[in-house]
Structure 1
């Protein structure tokens, strides 16, 4: 290695630093496919592209010659090498090295991109695809280290040794040949798969259609059949009772019993473990008592229960018949591990030369297994008149193992099309008798091309979970594509493997829209799995209580065997952190894009936020749908990112520009959900092309509170568009909307209405400025509806709070907007302060409210009560009967429990003096008396005096 390569000089070490690693397991902001994302800092190396580093490119190509196959941006082979010689930055080099390292271990990954982080010189986003995320991450780490070594040699770094460790790790983590063959076949049919553990347990398909495999054992493999196949004595008796050719056999527990059984059966015999596998402990062709006694401890050591099988020795060749679904799929002749003499090399040298075959590895990691020379092998070589140091004659076959198992170094010869039909029928009948869906039938017979009933031979073993590699990668002959019948068994042609997935995203309204849609589809008999900020819900049962709007929760839903429809609330954070939890969604809903979470994870503008949320639209296939809010310019622009059909929804009146845009789309055959004014109120109308289908009046939907909750009208329209796209009939959509309400049991924490001692209390999760504006508009409309029938002025008390991880200006804006709609504000704080000092977030909210009060808004008084439950009590006690209290909560469950307890104490007459209600305006009875007097006097000035707009702080009975 070169250790004196010139290095750049500068104020910092010439080193590429790895700042951050992320794994995107689904579509993400960088790629439609899973990808690794590295953030690297070049430091002073930003000023040193590859052409300025002497020897860098030549040494890199020497170690990784496969880089010559990278086309890069040039579009032809060798394009990346050209970029290296012309000069490219080391972040870009890291991307290609990480891809090539994966290719070196058989993961054919070719997609990647490198982009500079905006506003940070020398810091780059390096993104590249992967097959196994652990291998992909290890490739990135090794790529960074290799690039640094090529800039300035690291004495402790040996690339050859590091590469060997990387290859061994990749082999250890990779699937075996059998599992890999099934997964490859499933992927070719667009059947999604998920690895469930670090080994070979894999789920194929989603939800109710899911099937599982572990190597060649499937969801349809009978546990009883596996137990029977594992008991060789029972297997032999069952097959023999059905008239199939089997050897004579007895089970024993001692060496003496084994000798006695061998005498009864007749020599030569075979001694093997009753419940062993992979040919371990099998001793063949034993001719006398001494052989049996010597073989007994070998077989006993491999038996799980200490039971040994003694059976007659059948002479002939060893054949493995693979039976899948009761049909013969492949036949291989297994030849025991051996070497062929060349007249020059010793037996030991020939073994070493054979093991040098790159197809041979340890265990089942490769298509062939390395031959192991142990005491048994030495003894077998001596039986053939040789020692390991002897040179066998040319073309002399020297056996090193008695059995033909691939796991002991044997080879395979494909005989699929050579077998006699009678032999195939016998093998198929054996698999049916045992009850295995995938079975390996071991035949010993002189020739598989002749009937074994005539030539002699027998079934010596039936194997559950047989290995595929002898068939998919025969040493001699054509490979057999046996994964196809396995996948056919699990997913017959035409059978579905996916459940419809609906992704719901947006700044506000995600959860309510998801719940509305799930409620509609539940009415059609669907078993809906739903993720939301409240948890994971399976068929209307909350199974996990947590913020479950990320990709991990989505994968949990898709693994549930009851789910036949998935509705996923997709949050910005999950997309940025891991991407989507699946490869595509059939329907995407985007409710809106509003300023929230800005300044977090590099998202500083609305346009950037819209790009993140557009990932769900990009994940819509050609036969899918995107339900987009036409009233939001950023959401409307997402239509250009959709490969499927767009369904619009809008609250705008017919004469607006937005509606004219929608009308134009519908004239071209598009779909939309719009509002049409009628003499009885607003009607939700579903349009398809030139056809209009009335759905429901908005004021008759319980969730809209007589049409006052405009945000729930929009949510209902979005849910309508998605349900229609999923094929729901109009009647069922209508019925779902009519029966969905915002009670705590159907929509916890989303505009839940309770009556607490004749005070109307609304509990909502509102926590950002756009949401507060919609909530405030609802309060205005709702109070206006009620004010006409009220006998006093309805006061509005609001309890609000802001998440501590928002920007200061966003927190102040929340308070300012709330001050426009409420008479009194009580400011609380979340339990999780999100790295802010206690009281700081509440202070900022109050600052925003008081600044708005100075401009003459509605609010007259602001108080800070940090504890949520104390703030709830305080807000409720400020109200008189008939007033409206809106509680914007952090933990809605405990708030609802407190309100129930509050009501119970009042009903029981146990309320303390401190809990007597007060009024921030005027005493209710005094106000009623003044109203009566004003009505009788019919004096406008008196009326004006009754309902003054006070700017003084409100009083209470505290």
Structure 2
């Protein structure tokens, strides 16, 4: 052990999971940290560490940690725990300082690497969580050895201010809290207050307190105070006399006509900015005009009669009064000893007051207007008001200027309530803030001389949810009721498909079934994002960002997501949960990447989908795969099995027992007429379809698509599709290029049978090889004179292990007479020719061991490899092309076919047709 610790804690890697992931059921931040020499120094060996940490972040005393009780983490600190664990709790405590009640976290050592730890903790706001992680590491290092550049108070204040900049306002947060309590999902659409509630076709949007239902015309009317007053006056509602002006002289003449005292305010202002009250003469009006003009966006000023009374805000939601608050302007009350300035400082020291909307009250701002108002009351800021004397610092009661609120919801006179509701209807706002000035809201304003002075679109909720005096009103409830009436749906069904092979085809089958039922399906796959049969984005879209894109689309009422292990490891799932999770298989592929070195670890990644199934959801699992079968223990919902095993096998016995308990399963029952897909639900058995009559199975020879069809049918059944719709979907789904591009597409080119597929790994090649053998045998039986040749064009991605590449070649050699090895456009860190060389090594090794293959060649460019394979092929031969860019390959094949039909194959534009062209060939 070193004699003294040094501040070596550092962050090696940062990942942000935006959905369920391998570490947590919810979104989380994942740090890989290196303790360096601190690996030798748990907390109990560092003098003063625990006391100083608790002094800086006293909230850590509340952390239970693994002890499950208050103070559990402090016990761990005193007993000695490693500093990666401390960083986790520090990041959580920092988020709690800014009001994010996050308690989820864990720290685990990176296997096989001393001093490296995985630190995982939850977050509410991504940017705040990342900032908390960085500051937590700095603080831990500072407590190990003081950093002269770290001023903790300043750093903490900067962190709080950063959190305030990205935090939702109190109105938005109140709506979101209510939505979450009803299990309504939400997505933040920008860095401000634009939020989507619900998914797909059920989605609604809010921005602060404006909603998808808010009329743009109504907002324009409300922002035009002159027009608002005229409309309300025309409806017989009480409003002050009012005129609009553009110059100081016009304002004076208008005030003379209306009669003093008057109010001068901007036509299109908000939050009480630029409002000048109780103007008694021409001089006051001229002094107020530039103040109002500065806050006016269009240069139009309103002059209106002054209504004497208290300031009340009536909140109208969906046509009904939801809350009423009396707004009291910012003021202080003398104590006989303190100056006005000191009284303001004391008021601002109230922990309920903050900057802007960060807290329930806003700090009182002393500007020139406030100083002048104090002077008009006979005081200077340095004077000491008498005990009990109230000194106003603002004339308007806006919360944003430091005012306070008193709840009056249940005190308003029914006639005043009716007037407020009628005013909102006249303007057309679904959520409106009606500002009343009247002596007493408990008396009818028509009798007491009150009036409506303003109507606000997007009114703030803070004065109602957090009144200074009185009971808070839960006004987010009627807002969410308006957007999602009781019983309304906010979620669309989500079916997520994963597995090593078959994900894309199965996703397309499921999508095809539900498209046939009239659903607007949003699908993501390795080929792109498809919305209602329209390809919107052509790219690998099997990650979380593409899933969120589908959930934001307002046309989608059913989602099918292909989920790859890369997206899960990189960002987690792009959504909260899936109604149906389909796991097809788990085979060794992409091992050695992102800490996944074994097939068991890969299964843990795939199992994230199963863990994201709710209690009323289903996990569709391949009972024939032992690793998939074990995932049943991670499912909170029901398990639906599918299996290709014959009756009497151990797997089928397990499925039969499952169904006797009321479970569901899809199995194959063989007979003399073929294999029948059977749906089992409890004691019932329902025939679905013959496998050999499904186009995608090539008469039952494509066993991988028999398995995919089982998985797709099971998923559709679990999602509630009727059997006849599932049957029709499977019968009409084919592997044509238009329905399933790049997945077992069959074309005939000049008498040559060509199969185009995306096979790219050893397990997939094993299944494709089985299909090639079955198809090849049928072709051989139809040719009496010569056995047709099998030519394979194969490749794999550069981010696989060397042994995986060699294995791909070894398997391919068992099924093809000629193997042509190409490479992808993206080499993924390899040198050109390196991947092809490794695959070719595997082919040659198998050839030496007596494999079927007689010749292996390398043609690195895809189109060159395709041309070479087609040039070698004779009529009746079978050519299998494992593609990277399937569209380009199909175009090339069409070119071959069209040139043959035109009799121009010998032209200079024809594809290369030299059968001896063999770059880097090897023959046995």
TM-score range relative to shorter protein: over 0.9
Paired position in structure 2 for 1:796:
790
> Does 1:194 find its partner at 2:187?
yes
1:38 aligned to which of 18, 31, 34: 31
Q: Which residue of 2 aligns with 1:586?
A: 579
The answer to whether structure 1 residue 388 and structure 2 residue 381 are counterparts is yes
The answer to whether structure 1 residue 907 and structure 2 residue 870 are counterparts is no
Alignment of 1:307 with 2:300, yes or no, is: yes
Q: Does 1:870 align with 2:870?
A: no
Following superposition, the deviation at residue 54 of structure 1 comes to 0.8
Paired residue secondary structure (1:580): coil
- Show structure 2 runs of 5+ residues with no match: none
Which of 518, 524, 527 is residue 520 of structure 2 equivalent to?
527
- Is this contact kept in 2: 1:99–1:110, CA < 8 A? yes
Partner residue of 2:46 out of 36, 41, 53: 53
1:277 aligned onto 2:259: no
Give 1:680 shift: 1.3
Q: In the alignment, is residue 888 of structure 1 matched against residue 894 of structure 2?
A: no
Q: Is the 8 A contact 2:261 2:280 kept in 1?
A: yes
> What's 1:18 paired with?
11
CA distance in 2, matches of 1:657, 1:110: 44
Matched residues in 2 for 1:608 and 1:837: separation?
29
Is residue 830 of structure 2 the alignment partner of residue 836 of structure 1?
yes
- Give 3-state SS (helix, strand or coil) of 2:827's partner: coil
- Whether 2:53 is the aligned partner of 1:82: answer no
Residues 175 and 199, structure 1, Cα contact 8 Å, conserved in 2: yes
Displacement of 1:953 in angstroms is: 4.2
Q: Does 1:858 align with 2:849?
A: no
Q: How does 1:731-742 map to 2 (within 5 A)?
A: 731-742=724-735
Distance (whole Å) between structure 2 residues aligned to residue 674 and residue 38 of structure 1: 44
Unaligned runs of 5+ in 1: 1-6, 921-950
**Helix, strand or coil at the partner of 2:884:** coil
Q: From 660, 667, 670, give the equivalent of 2:660.
A: 667
Residue in 2 that maps onto 1:938: none
Alpha-carbon distance, 1:293 to partner: 1.5
What is the alpha-carbon distance in structure 2 between the residues aligned to residue 14 and residue 255 of structure 1? 66
Q: Distance in 2 between matches of 1:664 and 1:801?
A: 43
Answer whether contact 1:879 1:917 (CA < 8 A) is retained. no
What does residue 459 of structure 1 align with? Answer: 452
**1:14, CA displacement in angstroms?**
4.2
CA offset at residue 176 of structure 1? 0.7
How far does residue 144 in structure 1 lie from its aligned partner after superposition?
A: 0.7
Determine helix, strand or coil for the equivalent of 2:486: coil
Q: Larger deviation: 777-786 or 624-633?
A: 777-786
Take 2:739 and 2:888, find their aligned partners in 1: how far apart are those partners?
17
Could you say which residue in structure 2 is the equivalent of 1:472? 465
d(CA) in 1 for partners of 2:223 and 2:169? 22
1:667 CA displacement: 1.7
Q: What secondary structure sits across from 1:614 in the alignment?
A: helix
Structure 1 residue 552 corresponds to structure 2 residue 541: no
Q: CA deviation at 1:771?
A: 0.3
Match 1:632 to one of 625, 633, 636: 625
Question: What is the number of equivalent residue pairs in this alignment?
Answer: 917
Give the CA deviation at 1:13. Answer: 4.9
Which range moved further: 166-175 or 627-636?
Answer: 166-175
**Corresponding position: 1:412 with 2:392:** no
**Structure-2 residue corresponding to 1:613:** 606
Distance 1:303 1:43 in 2: 59
CA distance in 2, matches of 1:793, 1:413: 93
1:64-87 residue CA offsets vs partner (Å, 9 max, x unmatched): 111111111222211111111111
> What is the aligned partner in structure 1 of residue 217 from structure 2?
224
Distance in 1 between the 2:769 and 2:2 partners? 61
TM-aligned CA deviation for residue 908 of structure 1? 2.3
Alpha-carbon separation, structure 2, partners of 1:353 and 1:908: 93
1:242-257 → structure 2 map (5 Å cutoff) = 242-257=235-250
Indicate the SS of the match to 1:695.
strand
What is the correspondence of 1:915-930 to structure 2 with a 5 Å cutoff? 915=911
Contact preservation (8 Å) 2:6, 2:144: no
Q: Residue 573 of structure 1 is aligned with which of 566, 569, 585?
A: 566
Match of 1:490 in 2: 483
CA distance in 2, matches of 1:46, 1:849: 47
Query: Which residue of 2 is the match for residue 644 of structure 1?
Result: 637
Q: Is the 8 A contact 1:8 1:14 kept in 2?
A: no
Counterpart in the other structure of 1:98: 91
Preserved CA contact (<8 Å) 1:879 1:918 = no
Measure the CA separation in 2 of the matches of 1:660 and 1:802.
38
- CA drift of 1:502 comes to 0.7
Q: Within 1, Cα distance between the matches of 2:440 and 2:321?
A: 17
What is residue 433 of structure 1 aligned with on the other side?
A: 426
Show CA shifts across 1:716-753 (max 9, x none).
11010011111111111000001001111111110111
Cα distance 1:13–1:829, how it changes in 2: closer, same or farther (>3 A)?
A: farther
Select which of 664, 671, 680 maps to 1:678: 671
Cα distance, 1:700–1:261 mapped onto 2, change above 3 Å = same
Within-5 A mapping of 1:134-533: 134-533=127-526
Q: Any idea what SS the aligned residue of 2:677 has?
A: strand
Report what 1:927 is aligned to.
none
SS in structure 1 at match of 2:434: strand
The equivalent of 2:809 in structure 1 is 815
Partner Cα separation in structure 2 for residue 952 and residue 413 of structure 1: 89
Structure 1 counterpart SS, 2:374: helix
Matches of 1:917 and 1:21, distance apart in 2 = 52
Per-residue CA deviations over 1:750-778 (Å, capped at 9, x if unaligned) read 01111111111111110000000101100
3-state SS in 2 of match to 1:426: helix
Task: Note the C-alpha offset of 1:557.
Answer: 0.7
Contact 1:880 1:919 (8 Å CA) reproduced: no
What SS is found at the alignment partner of 2:293?
A: helix
Q: Indicate the SS of the match to 2:820.
A: strand
**Alpha-carbon distance, 1:787 to partner:** 2.6
Q: Which residue of 2 aligns with 1:946?
A: none
Query: How many angstroms apart in 1 are the aligned matches of 2:624 and 2:82?
Result: 44
Pick which of 167-176 and 412-421 moved more: 167-176
TM-score, normalised with respect to structure 2: 0.98
**1:199 offset after TM fit, Å?**
0.7
CA distance in 2, matches of 1:388, 1:752: 84
Shift of 1:312: 0.9
CA displacement at 1:113 relative to structure 2:
0.8
Residues 49 and 397 of structure 1, relative CA distance in 2, 3 Å threshold: same
Match of 1:757 among 730, 750, 754: 750
Contact 2:896/2:911 (8 A) holds in 1 = no
Deviation at 1:655, TM superposition (A): 2.6
Answer whether contact 1:176 1:366 (CA < 8 A) is retained: no
Q: SS of the counterpart of 1:331?
A: strand
How far did 1:918 drift?
Answer: 7.6
Q: Give the Cα–Cα distance (whole angstroms) in 1 for the partners of residues 904 and 294 of structure 2.
A: 76
Distance 2:491 2:630 in 1: 29
Partner in structure 2 of residue 777 of structure 1: 770
Post-superposition CA distance 1:158-194 (Å, at most 9, x none): 1111111111111111111100100001001111111
Q: How much does 1:118 deviate?
A: 0.4
Q: Quote the Cα distance in structure 1 between the aligned partners of 2:59 and 2:363.
A: 27
2:840 corresponds to which of 837, 846, 852: 846
Change (3 A) 1:581 1:918: same
State the 1:8 CA deviation: 4.9
Shift of 1:287: 1.4
